[in-house]
Amino acid sequence: MSAAPLTLCARNLSRRFGPREVVRNVSLELRRGEVLGLLGHNGAGKSTTLQLLTGALLPHAGQIEVCGFDLARQPKQAKACIGFLPETPPLYRDMCVDDYLEFAAKLHGVPRPQIAGALAETKRRCSLQDTGQKIIGTLSKGYRQRVGIAQALIHNPEVIILDEPTVGLDPSQIRDIRTLIRELGDAHSVILSTHLLGEVESICDRVEIMHHGRLIYSDSSAHMQQYGHQPGFVVTLLAPPALAELEAIPGVLKVEPISATHFRILHTAESNCGALLLERAAERGWQAQQLTPLQTKLEDVFMHITQNEAA
């Protein structure tokens, strides 16, 4: 993975709006074939960071390089390598889909003979085949979002930057878009910002968490799910014994009663005391019903990390 070439590299980006510093000293790296998820609360500075990376805003400090081109010094070459879907898709409501995508292609310097091919391919990818002649203003929100994504892909850019790409879509469309992003992630580099953690779980290779304009956590999304993980399970015993008896089982660290019949049991990582507990339950007639291992949800991890930072 680390052998893949760097496609986007940002160093020490800072951006103020008046006296308020919205982005503070952010550094990012992205390689080909990677999908990076930018996570954060509302107002954490995600959209501003993405606007900095695409050249819509200039940073007050810091440097951005896209495919080896400096965004400040060679903006044309650098921007030609980027496809960007902003928070609000930049759609001209009175144009039809084909005309709009053709305009986007020309604007991004797709050579004239290749436009028809790029148009057909992009429409296929975003399942827009039937909407070519429709006026954008008459499309539903989901379709508009897809046209917005199509606009970011039409010139086949190295780096694709999507700001909350699945907002306002129905569940099946969300699935389609996620499949598409995953597919794009194989040949290109993708950055997407989101506050949907499920999205990160299902499609991102790497996660950066943003909080108050700073990146506070960065790791692979699989690792993030392990963050702060405590092995344990929840067990239902219809005829529970005294707490002391449960705590006496070897390996158990802590027993918390959730209700009269539900217990959260935390154990050490090495021991598997679940089997032992079930054995004893059968012996002593505790009437064990259900045993569910504790799973750290990304949400908990996220809350944990951002709260740690706030503290």
Partner 1 sequence: MIFTIARKEFRSLLATPSTWLFLGALQFIFAWFFLARLDAFLQVQAQLAQLANAPGVTQAVAAPLFATIALIMMMLVPVFTMRLIAEERRNRTMTLLMTAPVSSTQIVLGKFTGLLLFLLLAIAGSVLMVLSLAAGTQLDKGLIFANALGLLLLAASYAALGLYISSLTVQPVVAAIGAMAALFGLWLVEISAADGNTAWRALAPTSHFQSFNSGLLNSGDLAFFLLFSIAFLLLAMRRIHNNRIYG
Residue with Cβ nearer partner 1 (162 or 265): 162
Binding segment toward partner 1, per CB under 8 A, in 69-77, 211-219, 223-231, 300-308:
69-77
Residue with Cβ nearer partner 1 (95 or 196): 95
Residue with Cβ nearer partner 1 (56 or 187): 56
Residue with Cβ nearer partner 1 (128 or 197): 128
Interface pick for partner 1 out of 40, 45, 55, 213 (rule CB under 8 A): 55
Least distance from partner 1 to the Cβ atom of residue 81, Å: 9
Interface map 78-117 toward partner 1 (x if CB under 8 A): xxx-x-x-xxx-xxxxxx---x---xx-xxxx--------
Interface with partner 1: number of residues (CB under 8 A)? 32
Q: What angle do CA 125, 152, 13 make, to 5 degrees?
A: 140
Distance (Å, rounded) from C-alpha 7 to C-alpha 220? 18
Question: Which residues lie across from 65 on neighbouring strands?
Answer: 9, 70
Binding segment toward partner 1, per CB under 8 A, in 3-11, 56-64, 196-204, 264-272:
56-64
Residue with Cβ nearer partner 1 (30 or 82): 82
Interface pick for partner 1 out of 31, 35, 39, 54 (rule CB under 8 A): 54
Question: Which residues lie across from 288 on neighbouring strands?
Answer: 237
Q: Return the closest-CA partner of residue 70 out of 87, 53, 46, 92.
A: 53
Q: Work out whether 126 is an interface residue with partner 1 (CB under 8 A).
A: no
Distance (Å, rounded) from C-alpha 265 to C-alpha 233? 5
Interface map 138-167 toward partner 1 (x if CB under 8 A): -------------x----------------
Distance (Å, rounded) from C-alpha 193 to C-alpha 183? 17
Give yes or no for a contact between 28 and 36, defined as CB atoms under 8 angstroms apart. yes
* Cβ contacts of 145 within 8 Å, gap of 6 or more: 89, 165, 166, 167, 168, 169, 173, 177
**DSSP type of residue 127:** T
Residue with Cβ nearer partner 1 (48 or 166): 48
Burial class of residue 83 in the structure, from the number of CB atoms within 10 Å of its CB (0-12 exposed, 13-18 middle, 19+ buried) = buried
Binding site for partner 1 (CB under 8 A): 17, 51, 54-58, 75-80, 82, 84, 86-88, 90-95, 99, 103-104, 106-109, 151
